[in-house]
């Protein structure tokens, strides 16, 4: 008698399906995380941290924006003892939003590329501005700015980084950004494969190179304005 084997078919580019129980647990953990998407936990965002906790790879005390309240919520959910925040991941700060000094901004777009929730508006060579209601205070836009014109501004009366409503908005905006980036990556990959090249052979320029290029471009524009 012939035996039939069922293989799990993996569609190219998609991860094998996780058991429903596990998906449910990840969603429950993600639901109590503050969603600043700041990466201080050591993962690419809140959802990847939730996945690492669910897999048993990460501790529950690695999220500074969530603070003590967040750790208590995770401990209760997972029925584990409370652990103090691990200071190696940072400290809990009051709510703050980014503010761009528009006089100094050279319109290089590097902050836009770094913002996990698309909270910055602007175009190449034009000054940029932060939509403060959408800003999670993650500070990821600060290091790439070549002219250091972004400051964090504390919101008076707000002890915690995110409330529940803000977290829900940030979760959705981050997911939308990830979907958009994935789509752009697929489109770029298609363009490259049409040209018989692969993405693997293309190098992403380092932040230092991007900064240098941005400054050089801005200086060239100033020079052109002076001479023109």
The neighbouring-strand residues paired with 150 are 100
**Which of 26, 46, 53, 60 lies at the binding interface for ligand SF4 (CB under 6 A)?**
46
Contact assessment for residue 34 and residue 46, using Cβ atoms and an 8 Å cutoff:
yes
In the complex, the smallest distance separating the C-beta of residue 149 from ligand SF4, rounded to whole angstroms, is 5
Q: Is 32 in the site for ligand SF4 (CB under 6 A)?
A: no
Site mask, ligand SF4, residues 64-103, x = CB under 6 A?
Answer: xxx-------------------------------x-x---
**Which of 26, 29, 32, 34 lies at the binding interface for ligand SF4 (CB under 6 A)?**
34
**Which of 25, 60, 71, 120 lies at the binding interface for ligand SF4 (CB under 6 A)?**
120
130 vs 199: CA distance, rounded Å: 32
User: How buried is residue 78: exposed, middle or buried, by Cβ count under 10 Å (0-12/13-18/19+)?
Assistant: middle
**Which of 26, 53, 58, 130 lies at the binding interface for ligand SF4 (CB under 6 A)?**
130
Which run of H or E residues covers position 120?
A: strand 120-121
Short-list 145, 170, 210, CA closest to 38: 170
**Which of 140, 171, 173, 174 lies at the binding interface for ligand SF4 (CB under 6 A)?**
140
Contact range with ligand SF4 by CB under 6 A, out of 3-11, 71-79, 107-115, 171-179? 107-115
Q: Is 166 in the site for ligand SF4 (CB under 6 A)?
A: no
149 vs 151: CA distance, rounded Å: 7
158 vs 183: CA distance, rounded Å: 36
Q: Is 58 in the site for ligand SF4 (CB under 6 A)?
A: no
Closer residue to ligand SF4, CB minimum distance, 10 or 44: 44
In the complex, the smallest distance separating the C-beta of residue 10 from ligand SF4, rounded to whole angstroms, is 28
Contact assessment for residue 77 and residue 24, using Cβ atoms and an 8 Å cutoff:
no
**Which of 25, 33, 53, 54 lies at the binding interface for ligand SF4 (CB under 6 A)?**
33
Phi-psi region of 137 (alpha: psi -120 to 50; beta: other; left: phi over 0): left
HSE, side-chain direction, 13 A CA sphere, residue 225: 6
CA distances from 32 to 25, 39, 71, 138, 150 (A): 11, 16, 9, 17, 29
Q: Is 167 in the site for ligand SF4 (CB under 6 A)?
A: no
Closer residue to ligand SF4, CB minimum distance, 132 or 197: 132
Site for ligand SF4, rule CB under 6 A: 33-34, 36-41, 43, 45-46, 49, 63-66, 98, 100, 105-111, 114-115, 117, 119-120, 122, 128, 130, 135-141, 144-147, 149-150
């Amino acid at each position: 008698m012939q035996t039939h084997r069922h293989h799990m078919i993996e569609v190219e580019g998609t991860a094998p399906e996780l058991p429903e129980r596990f998906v449910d647990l990840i969603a429950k953990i993600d639901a109590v995380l503050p969603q600043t998407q700041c990466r201080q936990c050591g993962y690419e965002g809140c959802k990847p941290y939730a996945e690492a906790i669910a897999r048993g790879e990460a501790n529950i005390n690695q999220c500074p924006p969530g603070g003590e309240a967040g750790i208590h919520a995770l401990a209760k959910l997972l029925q584990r003892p409370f652990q103090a925040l691990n200071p190696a991941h940072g400290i809990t700060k009051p709510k703050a939003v980014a503010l761009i000094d528009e006089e100094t901004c050279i319109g290089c777009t590097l902050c836009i590329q770094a913002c996990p929730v698309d909270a910055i508006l602007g175009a190449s060579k034009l000054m940029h501005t932060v939509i403060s209601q959408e800003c999670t205070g993650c500070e990821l836009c600060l290091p790439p700015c070549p002219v250091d014109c972004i400051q964090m501004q504390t919101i008076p009366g707000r002890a915690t980084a995110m409330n529940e409503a803000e977290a829900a908005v940030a979760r959705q905006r981050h997911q939308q950004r990830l979907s958009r980036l994935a789509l752009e990556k697929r489109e770029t990959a298609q363009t490259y494969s049409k040209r018989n090249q692969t993405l693997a052979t293309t190098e992403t320029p380092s932040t230092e190179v991007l900064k240098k290029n941005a400054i050089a471009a801005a200086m060239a524009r100033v020079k052109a304005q002076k001479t023109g």
